[in-house]
Amino acid sequence: MKKEDASNIWLSPLISDGMILQRNSIVKIWGKGVPGKELRLTFMQQDYVIMVQADGSWEIDLGNLKPGGPYVMDIHHEGEDKHIKDILVGDVWVLAGQSNMQIPVERTLDLFEDEVKGVDIPEIRQFTVPMVYDFHGPEEELSDGSWVPVTAESIYSFSAIGYFFSKKIYDKHKIPIGLLFTAIGGTPAEAWISEGSLMRFDRFKEILSMCKDDSYVQDTMERENENNNNWYHELYEADEGLKDEPWYSENIKENDWKDIQLPAGFHGTELEPIRGTVWFRKEVDIPDHMAGKEGKLYLGSLVDGDDTYINGVKVGNTGYMYPPRRYLIPEGLLKAGKNNITVRLIMTHSIGGFVPDMPYFIKVDGEELPISGVWRYKVGAFTKPQGPSTFFQYKPTGVYNGMIYPLRNYKVTGVLWYQGESNTGYPYDYKELFETVISDWRKLWDSPKLPFYYVQLANYSQWRFEPEVSGWAQVREAQRQVMENPNTGMAVTIDVGMYNDLHPWNKKSVGERLALWALKDMYGEDNVCSGPIYKDMIVEDKKAKLYFDYIGSGLLIQGDKLETFEIAGEDGVFHPAEATIEGECIVVSSNKVISPQKVRYAWADNPERANLFNKEGLPASPFIT
């Protein structure tokens, strides 16, 4: 990274106003200057004087800083001064992984709106690393970024897991918490691994070689972007609902519209094959006391995109399937009596639908008016499916080079990781991939014991696949086995997921379960930091006895009897099993298995009936013996 032409002093964006420096460590401050010239840095009443190296680089080590602040850092070099203000000393954590780590507080408001409203904790700060990928080699430095404190305005864009993790620790210890936010939705583990390490996995060599060809990357992006634009243009031109009098108009005639019960998916209906647009309308009666007031439209989740109107006025739109639709209804739009909601639903490549078991209502002053039930619909346009998109940030080594390597000089406490969903399609080497991430990052930060706390995949999937083909179960098992590595900890979350949403809303439980590991290892608390983790099996009298770590003050069934245990004999075929708690072990058996060889628990994408916990209320990890 070259220093700015107009300045004699260049600093990483990490070293900027509001930064949090790692306590009780040797902290490096680095930058660029004029070769051979003196540079003076003053911090906490201590002066550091060095000569800039021949290549223009310089670095200064600050020793064993104690928690506190705010402080100011002054740098003087070649007649120029830089003043870095509002510096705190505390603990710095890297937030990494894919979309569930990325999900902001704003996406959790159905559960935590009152809890986060007006929050002001400026001692918790987040630095968002720009999304950069590079297939040719590591980027030396970041190009941009700034430190943002938690305020009533900024909280909604914070990583939800990062915030709830930090708040639990800060509330107890009052130590400033800095978060280096690097998560990118959809990224598989191999995107976060160095090229040298990844070459051990033959299956990535060809695609990495292709991605090193800049013309291939550029041509692919340009072609797909053009195709994408053409698809939407053709859809717009073909959509009957946008011609003459638009179908979102308040008083459009619905003579030839059909009835449909919503919410529902379109599997098995005449709408299943449609890629294009279908328009939906619902008439709702607004009582006098709600009329004219500001409100919010809760429109569940939709597949794929939508434009949504009330009384002919657009109140929101979303381009893809995952985000929950929560659209603000402006003051003066709702009127007493009949009102029309119109949804232009866009199916790009999926079978469309209004996702069931989500909130569907209008909310005004805390009062909810349901909008589920009979809607009217009409097809606007029937097109070919949208073409596939190549997301190059998903490709091997790219974001490691662009987003992780540039952080190597910034001292951190540890890493929080939530990733794995994108590896469920090929789970067979996930353990090796994830362990490679951990070893790579520990080498990068020159910290062999760098704590790595991670989230085991939550329960998900409305389709009840045969357990044997559950990629989610296999990734969870790999994650369980990674706990064999020192200084790792796993938060089990099969009780806080949602069968109908890849991005479960309860990020508070996830963040706080990660915090339990940090509180135990880094802050010296004597706590129970995990639910039961399978340890060992002994076979006696045609029964399997299972023993666990992290049983806390005892094993516990949430319900009448233990569910989702299965047992297999020498033929390897699993059968549903009876399981009971006997002291500190669980006894598992089936009259169909005379000689038990294996037991498994919660082995499914969505093990919704899994109910083994410890008495501290933490769920047991799925496992196979």
Across residues 557-580, what is the average pLDDT?
Answer: 96
Q: Decide if pLDDT at 39 tops 70.
A: yes
Cβ neighbours around 180 below 10 Å, total: 25
> What gap in Å lies between CA 24 and CA 283, rounded to an integer?
62
Sorting pLDDT into bands at 50, 70 and 90, what band is 5?
Answer: low
601-603-607 Cα angle (round to 5): 95
Across residues 76-101, what is the average pLDDT?
Answer: 98
Name the pairing type of β-strands 121-128 and 177-181: parallel
pLDDT value at residue 3: 45
- Residues 6 or more apart whose Cβ sits within 8 Å of residue 120: 150, 151, 152
Omega prior to 70 cis, within 30 of 0: yes
247-382, what's its fold?
Jelly Rolls (2.60.120)
3-class DSSP assignment, residue 221: helix
> What gap in Å lies between CA 520 and CA 173, rounded to an integer?
13
Across residues 572-598, what is the average pLDDT?
Answer: 96
The domain 90-194+397-529: what is its CATH number?
3.40.50.1110
Residue labelled with tokens 């928690």: 67
CA 293 to chain centre: 34
Report residue 458 as tokens.
Answer: 């939550």
Sorting pLDDT into bands at 50, 70 and 90, what band is 2?
Answer: very low
pLDDT value at residue 221: 97
Sorting pLDDT into bands at 50, 70 and 90, what band is 463?
Answer: low
Sorting pLDDT into bands at 50, 70 and 90, what band is 4?
Answer: very low
3-class DSSP assignment, residue 432: helix
Q: Over the chain, what is the mean pLDDT?
A: 96
Across residues 567-571, what is the average pLDDT?
Answer: 96
Q: Encode pLDDT of 47-75 as tens digits.
A: 999 999 999 999 999 988 999 999 999 99
Q: Decide if pLDDT at 465 tops 90.
A: no
Percent of the chain with pLDDT over 90: 96
Whole-prediction pTM: 0.95
Q: Encode pLDDT of 275-300 as tens digits.
A: 999 999 999 999 999 999 999 999 99
Across residues 525-539, what is the average pLDDT?
Answer: 97
Q: Encode pLDDT of 507-522 as tens digits.
A: 999 999 999 999 999 9
3-class DSSP assignment, residue 613: strand
Per the CB < 8 A criterion, the answer to whether 124 and 389 are in contact is no
Here the contacts of 533-539 (C-beta below 8 Å, separation 24 or greater) are 533/480, 533/483, 533/490, 533/620, 533/621, 533/623, 534/480, 534/601, 534/620, 534/621, 534/623, 534/625, 537/599, 537/625, 539/595, 539/596
pLDDT value at residue 467: 53
> What gap in Å lies between CA 533 and CA 547, rounded to an integer?
9
Q: Encode pLDDT of 486-506 as tens digits.
A: 999 999 999 999 999 999 999
287 secondary structure, DSSP code: P
Half-sphere exposure of 150 (CA within 13 A, CB side): 26
